[in-house]
Amino acid sequence: MIFLSHNRNSLGEAAALARGRIAPNIYDIIAFAMLVALLVLLAHGAAGMRAPSTLLTTSPVTLGLANLPDYALRTTLRMFAAIIVSLIFTFTVATLAAKSRRAEMVIIPVLDILQSVPVLGFLTFTVTFFMGLFPGSQLGAECAAIFAIFTSQAWNMAFSFYQSLRTVPGDLDEVSRGFGLSAWQRFWRLEAPFAAPGLVWNTMMSMSGGWFFVVASEAITVGNTTVQLPGIGSWLALAIDKQDFKAVAWAVLAMGVLILLYDQLLFRPVVAWADKFRFEQTAGQEKPRSWVYDVLRRVRLLRTVGLPIAWLWQRAMLLRLGRRTQPATTVASRRFSRLLDFAWLGLVLLVALWGGIETVLYLGQTLGWNDVIEAFSGGLLTLLRVIVLIAVASVIWVPIGVWIGLRPAVAERVQPLAQFLAAFPANVLFPFAVIAIVATGASPGIWLSPLMVLGTQWYILFNVIAGASAFPSDLKEAARVFKIRSWSWWKNVMLPGIFPYYITGALTASGGSWNASIVAELASWGNTRLEAFGLGSYIAKATEAGDFPRVILGIAVMSLFVTLFNRTLWRPLYVFAERRMRLD
Amino acid sequence: MNQAVITKALPLVEVHGVCQTYDKGSAGKLVVLDQVGLTLVSGEIVGLLGRSGSGKSTLLRSIAGLIRPSEGAIAFEGKAVSGTPDGIAMVFQSFALFPWLTVLQNVELGLEAQGVSPAERRKRALSAIDLIGLDGFENAYPKELSGGMRQRVGLARALVVHPKVLLMDEPFSALDVLTAETLRTDLLDLWSEGRMPIESILMVTHNIEEAVLMCDRVLIFSSNPGRVVAELRVDLPQPRNRLDPAFRALVEDIYARMTARKEPGSPPRDGVFPGTGIAMVLPRVSTNLLAGLIEAVAAPPYNGHADLPPLAASLQLEIDDLFPIAETLQLLRFAEFAEGDIRLTPAGKRFAESEVDARKQLFAQQLATYVPLAGHIRRVLDERANHKAPARRFRDELEDHMSEGYADQTVRAVISWARYAEYFAYDEESDLFTLDNPT
């Protein structure tokens, strides 16, 4: 799901794109089959390349406090490597999808499915695959971690960029063509700037989600391969293993500082800068502010340093890479291209069919119907958890969010906090919950569940705050003049007003919760292991055992659940919100 | 005054037999432009005048090389247009400025595309900015500027690439009256003083007075399909005076030509809208506007019979707003609309004198009789036991004859008229037509 920078115009377009995509169509099924087939291939390759010995024993992670800043740095570097890869992926793949109809036919459904795939499930293959690729060096494990973060970030960024490219304003397109801008110039002068606000916002959301995965992917055990990359995630894993409460607290603190720094030093400035790309012809609305950005703009030295870069940039703009975009072709060639479309579609179908058969054959070798039933019943249970938890979180946070959003002074202070909490990796906090459950002897089947929404509930909160803040004051005044109060006020005034925002938040939260279930349903503290039966723990256990067929089955089932859940519940609600409850 | 400058050199732009059609699938083709020809020579301003949907913007974009016409030939300086020719620049109705570029960067954009070096680019851009009266705004972003200033940026951006032909697509229609007038005058001054590097201007407009004020020649387009129905030479000297009787006579003449009845040879139609029977494409005109125009024409000084130019002026409506209202009234037989005049029918007069409920009844009557689609929907609803019918069904029926967009527009138009007349009801949630109005 694309995150929307609370820009109501683009929301409409998103809904327009989403509208046609409620019922799963043939492309979804194809995409699904191809994806699972790819997993199988990866697993095959990984199994073949799996290195017999453990590699990362040269300098094991320790709990020395002096190491913590270094670990924090390593973790951050991994994050940045992943975001750069994600950006490259976005610029290439999304551009390809927007420019080539045939690529679009495959890429968009695949991205749509990939958004629903539990990222943590990938770790199993990627760790073994990348370690096989770089035997004897840490690089393999690093790549695996970076890849895991990448898979959590790239899809919504690519989607946002693709959507922007498809909705470039017609008159600006005509100006660019009229002046004969080359593809290179057009990209940097028209397309990239137009897409910037949405992309920046989605990148920010992706980074927020990414911290969760960097923590989860640094220390991982797949079968008899154990990887511990120096970083906060490994520190945490070690602390849990040694039951070192103080070390866990340090990890929480380090994480907090890290996210605060990254937010203040990197993202606020970028958001403030990207504001100038907002496509609106009228001034007004409050601008996002950042003290770092203000400082940077005033530093004279930077301007001197920037001169040669600006010069290079200007020269680069004069390059004439790519041909001019030409007007539409004639009827005859259109007919030919339609024939090619059919051929292409046929090829894609064949590959998907082959992939589907291969998958079933591969899984059929080791797994029986019992496993399928187990995975599905686990899926149902996890689904129940997600529904109940999102409902509970909504009941708690919607009133609070509305209360805050209607008070601008409070909202101004709480909103950054909510965004901070959404970025904070909840898995760092899991040990506390586990200790509490162990101490009180509560049922893990029930009490492990709240961990799933621990990190994702904040999406509901800050979206509702944004919605309530944006609620038009004339409608508020009208409600007051006509003395609309209590339930009628909620039902007729506020809930419809924040509904589109709430849906965006709840959808994000539910997607995140599915992912978190893989970590949350199986938690440990030293030698104490807590397990809640569900699809998440099914995948987690299979991963630990290095049981590839079960991991694939688990991932496929979870993807299926998430996709169906999104299609049957969230998408229709989203479209409904767009049609009926827009406030402009 | 530009007549003197015309030389018998090669025409700048030549358009021959251009057709633009869009495929509508099984329903055949939608013809936007039909056999249009046009010649543009050096030293003249030519106006393309017509209503929306007459294809004049399409023609402009074909000349700019943005669209490839389905048939026909377009030549610029004797060479067939392929791609976007360098000697042609365009000014847009929506200004089409890049919001993330400053005024200076926006103006430099065309030069950058030509690969002009930064220093040279800057010099030329600054001189264009100077010429067009934008000094001091170089570093402003478009969103900081007023509409008039934005269009000046659009002009500077077009002029800086030194085009021979300047194409303008309704350049002043997004501006308020006062700003538009200032900009027109400034542009005409620059033109007559020969300070712009252009040889000829081709502009699209739906404002009749604007066309008479600015152009040496005016081509009048009919709509559905777009054809050139008349060509007028405007020989009044510049600067022109709107109150000059000769000016008024020309405006009056153009109004008459634009509302002229179809040539006698053409097949009889239910009205002025394309299509026949239920397949007629209907415009979305609010019943408030219909009632408003009836009242305005019924009231003094018109007393049921109005001359269009003063009526349009007093109501502050441009022809694109006024014509669809008047034509809908004609369709509903509330008014006669021809030769630059509008005259209320007895039904129209009765409507003007009635109270709300009587008006609704009368409106329902006219709707049933003269809008075949409305009658058709009502009959289907009457025939069915539950008095319900999905709107989808009618949209599909219409799509056999027109494009999806037109079908949607037509259904919406009928819905809004039927709701006003309480002729039948529509529920958006379920997309159903029903007979029960909430009581």
The model's pLDDT over A249-259, given as tens digits with 9 standing for 90+, comes to 888 888 888 88
pLDDT at position B41 over 70: yes
Nearest CB neighbour to B64, from listed A178, A317, A330: A178
Angle, helices A68-89/A192-218, rounded to nearest 10 degrees: 140
Q: Poorest-confidence range of A179-193, A208-222, B329-343? A: A208-222
Cβ <8 Å between A276 and B141: yes
Question: Tokens 């247009």 identify what position?
Answer: B81
**DSSP H/E element including B328:** helix B319-331
Distance CA B88, CA A177 (A): 12
Cβ <8 Å between A280 and B66: no
pLDDT at position A201 over 60: yes
Average pLDDT, chain A: 78
Which pLDDT score is estimated for B5? 47
Query: Distance from first CA to last CA of chain A, Å, rounded?
Result: 23
Contacts of A317 in chain B (CB under 8 A): 112
pLDDT in tens, B316-371: 888 888 888 988 998 899 998 877 888 899 999 999 999 999 999 999 999 999 99
- Residue B289 Cα, gap to closest chain A Cα (Å): 23
Cβ <8 Å between A281 and B89: no
Cβ <8 Å between B89 and A320: no
Cβ <8 Å between A281 and B143: yes
SS3 A511: helix
- Residue B328 Cα, gap to closest chain A Cα (Å): 29
pLDDT grade for A484, boundaries at 50, 70 and 90:
confident
Nearest CB neighbour to B84, from listed A178, A279, A281: A178
Cβ <8 Å between B84 and A276: no
DSSP E strand stretches across A490-574: 522-525, 528-531
pLDDT at position A178 over 60: yes
Distance CA B283, CA B322 (A): 12
Nearest CB neighbour to A175, from listed B96, B100, B112: B96
Distance CA A67, CA A70 (A): 5
For residue B73, the tally of other CB atoms under 10 A from its CB is 13
Provide mean pLDDT across the span A469-477: 81
Eight-state DSSP code of residue A315: H
**b/e string for A476-514 if b means 16 or more Cβ within 10 A?**
eeebeeeebeeeeeeeebbeebbbbbbbbbbbbbbbbbb
Name the closest residue on chain A to residue B62, using Cα atoms.
A327
pLDDT grade for A10, boundaries at 50, 70 and 90:
very low
DSSP E strand stretches across B240-372: 305-307, 335-338, 341-344
Name the closest residue on chain A to residue B70, using Cα atoms.
A330
Contacts of B96 in chain A (CB under 8 A): 169, 171-172, 174-175
SS3 A165: helix
Distance CA B288, CA A340 (A): 51
In contact, B205 and B213? CB cutoff 8 Å: no
pLDDT grade for A242, boundaries at 50, 70 and 90:
confident
Contacts of A174 in chain B (CB under 8 A): 61, 64, 66, 90, 92, 96
Name the closest residue on chain A to residue B93, using Cα atoms.
A171
Which residues does A524 contact at the CB level (< 8 Å), separation at least 6?
A240, A434, A530
Nearest CB neighbour to A172, from listed B67, B96, B112: B96
Cβ <8 Å between A277 and B101: no
Q: Starting from the edge strand earliest in sequence, which strands make up the sheet with B425-427, in order?
A: B388-390, B432-434, B425-427
Angle, helices A139-166/A192-218, rounded to nearest 10 degrees: 150
pLDDT at position A478 over 60: yes
Cβ <8 Å between B67 and A181: no
Q: Poorest-confidence range of A148-157, A213-222, B145-154, B234-243? A: A213-222
Name the closest residue on chain B to residue A170, using Cα atoms.
B96
Best mutation site among B109, B173, B204, B404 for testing chain A: the one with the most A CBs within 10 Å? B109
Cβ <8 Å between B66 and A314: no
Cβ <8 Å between A179 and B109: yes
pLDDT at position B93 over 80: yes
- Residue B157 Cα, gap to closest chain A Cα (Å): 10
Contacts of A279 in chain B (CB under 8 A): 99
pLDDT at position A345 over 70: yes
Name the closest residue on chain B to residue A281, using Cα atoms.
B143
Find the DSSP H helices in A406-456: 408-423, 430-440, 444-447, 450-454
What are the percentages of helix, strand and coil residues in chain A, rounded to 5? Answer: 80, 5, 20
Chain B residues contacting A via beta carbons under 8 Å: 23, 61, 64-68, 70, 83-84, 86, 88-90, 92, 94-101, 109-110, 112-115, 117-118, 141-144, 150, 157, 161
In contact, B353 and B294? CB cutoff 8 Å: no
Distance CA A317, CA A310 (A): 10
pLDDT > 70 in chain A, percent: 82
**DSSP H/E element including B122:** helix B118-131
Cβ <8 Å between A171 and B112: no
Which pLDDT score is estimated for B201? 94
In contact, B157 and B109? CB cutoff 8 Å: yes
Name the closest residue on chain A to residue B160, using Cα atoms.
A179
In contact, B69 and B238? CB cutoff 8 Å: no
Distance CA A110, CA A155 (A): 10
pLDDT grade for B291, boundaries at 50, 70 and 90:
very high
Q: Within 13 Å, how many C-alpha atoms sit on residue A543's CB side?
A: 27
Cβ <8 Å between A189 and B96: no
C-alpha triplet A120, A126, A130: angle, nearest 5°: 150
In contact, A14 and A163? CB cutoff 8 Å: yes
Cβ <8 Å between B65 and A178: yes
pLDDT grade for A303, boundaries at 50, 70 and 90:
low
- Residue A579 Cα, gap to closest chain B Cα (Å): 10
Which pLDDT score is estimated for B27? 54
In contact, A459 and A512? CB cutoff 8 Å: yes
pLDDT greater at residue A146 or residue A481:
A146
pLDDT greater at residue B154 or residue A546:
B154
Provide mean pLDDT across the span A132-140: 74
Contacts of B100 in chain A (CB under 8 A): 193, 196, 276-277
Name the closest residue on chain B to residue A275, using Cα atoms.
B100
B134: left (phi over 0), alpha (psi -120 to 50) or beta: alpha
Cβ <8 Å between A174 and B61: yes
Which pLDDT score is estimated for A325? 54
Give strand pairing partners of A530: A523
Model-level pTM?
A: 0.77
Which residues does A23 contact at the CB level (< 8 Å), separation at least 6?
A567
**b/e string for A192-208 if b means 16 or more Cβ within 10 A?**
bbbbbbbbbbbbbbbbb
Which pLDDT score is estimated for A509? 86
Best mutation site among A7, A168, A174 for testing chain B: the one with the most B CBs within 10 Å? A174
Distance CA B264, CA A295 (A): 75
Average pLDDT, chain B: 85
pLDDT grade for B183, boundaries at 50, 70 and 90:
very high
pLDDT grade for A41, boundaries at 50, 70 and 90:
low
Cβ <8 Å between A171 and B61: no
pLDDT > 70 in chain B, percent: 92
Give strand pairing partners of B137: none
Amino acid at A478: A
pLDDT grade for B420, boundaries at 50, 70 and 90:
very high
pLDDT at position B168 over 90: yes
In contact, B157 and B111? CB cutoff 8 Å: no
* Length of chain A in terms of residues written: 584
Q: Within 13 Å, how many C-alpha atoms sit on residue A119's CB side?
A: 28
Distance CA B131, CA B145 (A): 18
Which pLDDT score is estimated for A2? 52
Which pLDDT score is estimated for B4? 45
Instruction: With CA atoms as reference, report the closest residue to B397 among B69, B136, B27.
Output: B27
- Residue A494 Cα, gap to closest chain B Cα (Å): 21
Provide mean pLDDT across the span A494-515: 86
What six digits make up the tokens of A184? 């290179």
Radius of gyration of chain B (CA): 24
For residue B88, the tally of other CB atoms under 10 A from its CB is 24
Amino acid at A195: A
Count H helices, E strands: chain B? 15, 16
pLDDT grade for A160, boundaries at 50, 70 and 90:
confident
Provide mean pLDDT across the span A538-542: 87
Q: Is B289 exposed, middle or buried (0-12, 13-18, 19+ CB in 10 A)?
A: middle
Cβ <8 Å between B61 and A314: no
In contact, B96 and A171? CB cutoff 8 Å: yes
Distance CA B432, CA B439 (A): 18
Which pLDDT score is estimated for B3? 45
Nearest CB neighbour to A327, from listed B68, B110, B115: B68
Distance CA A442, CA A436 (A): 8
pLDDT at position B204 over 90: yes
pLDDT at position B387 over 70: yes
Distance CA B259, CA B233 (A): 19
Strand bridging mode A522-525 / B29-40 = unpaired
pLDDT grade for A359, boundaries at 50, 70 and 90:
confident
Contacts of A175 in chain B (CB under 8 A): 90, 92, 96, 98, 109, 157
pLDDT at position B264 over 50: no
Contacts of B94 in chain A (CB under 8 A): 171
Distance CA A305, CA A357 (A): 59
Which pLDDT score is estimated for B266? 43
Provide mean pLDDT across the span B376-391: 89
Cβ <8 Å between A174 and B144: no
Q: Poorest-confidence range of A137-151, A380-394, B303-317, B332-346? A: A137-151
SS3 B204: strand
Provide mean pLDDT across the span B207-226: 88
pLDDT grade for B126, boundaries at 50, 70 and 90:
very high
Cβ <8 Å between A171 and B83: no
pLDDT at position A336 over 80: no
Best mutation site among A175, A177, A186 for testing chain B: the one with the most B CBs within 10 Å? A175
pLDDT grade for B187, boundaries at 50, 70 and 90:
very high
In contact, A250 and A65? CB cutoff 8 Å: yes
Which pLDDT score is estimated for A454? 83
In contact, B29 and B14? CB cutoff 8 Å: no
Radius of gyration of chain A (CA): 25
Which pLDDT score is estimated for B301? 86
Give strand pairing partners of A220: A227
In contact, B152 and B183? CB cutoff 8 Å: yes
Provide mean pLDDT across the span B406-426: 91
Provide mean pLDDT across the span A111-123: 75
Which pLDDT score is estimated for A23? 53
- Residue B51 Cα, gap to closest chain A Cα (Å): 20
